[in-house]
């Protein structure tokens, strides 16, 4: 699980830099400021959680299901939250909004909140 965590951290970090640059240079031409701000929110949350996964990958032993679930929540949450925002904003900019992605964003946010909650719980019940 340690290696998987570090791989996802690297992928999320890499993609957030690429997508951030793409948003700043290419999407700026086709998106209004509201859509661009939403896209940037997805990029920021993706990078934040890439960093969290990197830290967890180097610091957790992954000997308990709780440690694994913390990471699962961050990975699933980042994918659902950030990538649904990318899909929503890009499709809206092309006037072909993919509406089914709308409810996916808050589900991703719920996974992210759950990951942080589990991390808090982990810190309160373990002597790390």
Tens-place pLDDT, residues 43-95: 999 999 999 999 999 999 999 999 999 999 999 999 999 999 999 999 988 88
2, two tokens? 């340690």
What is this structure's pTM? 0.92
CB 105 within 8 A of CB 88: yes
> Mean per-residue pLDDT for 103-123?
97
> Quick one: what percent of the chain has pLDDT higher than 90?
76
- Judged on CB neighbours under 10 Å (0-12, 13-18, 19+), 58 is exposed
Q: At residue 128, does pLDDT exceed 70?
A: no
CB 102 within 8 A of CB 46: no
- Which three-class secondary structure string do you get for 12-67? HHHHHHHHHHHHHHCHHHCCCHHHHHHHHHHHHHHHHHHHHHHHHHHHCCCCCHHH
User: What does DSSP assign to residue 103?
Assistant: T
Question: Cα–Cα distances in Å, from 71 out to 31, 56, 91, 113, 118?
Answer: 33, 8, 30, 12, 10
CA pair distance 128, 58, nearest whole angstrom = 13
């Amino acid at each position: 699980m340690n290696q998987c965590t570090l791989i996802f951290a690297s992928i999320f970090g890499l993609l957030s830099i690429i997508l951030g640059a793409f948003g700043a240079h290419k999407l700026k031409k086709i998106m209004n400021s509201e859509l661009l701000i939403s896209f940037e929110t997805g990029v920021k949350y993706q990078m934040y959680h890439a960093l969290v996964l990197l830290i967890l990958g180097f610091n957790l032993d992954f000997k308990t299901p709780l440690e694994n679930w913390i990471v699962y929540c961050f990975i699933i949450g980042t994918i659902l939250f950030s990538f649904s925002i990318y899909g929503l904003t890009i499709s809206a900019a092309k006037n072909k909004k993919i509406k089914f992605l709308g409810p996916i964003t808050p589900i991703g946010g719920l996974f992210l909140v759950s990951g942080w909650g589990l991390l808090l719980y982990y810190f309160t019940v373990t002597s790390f």
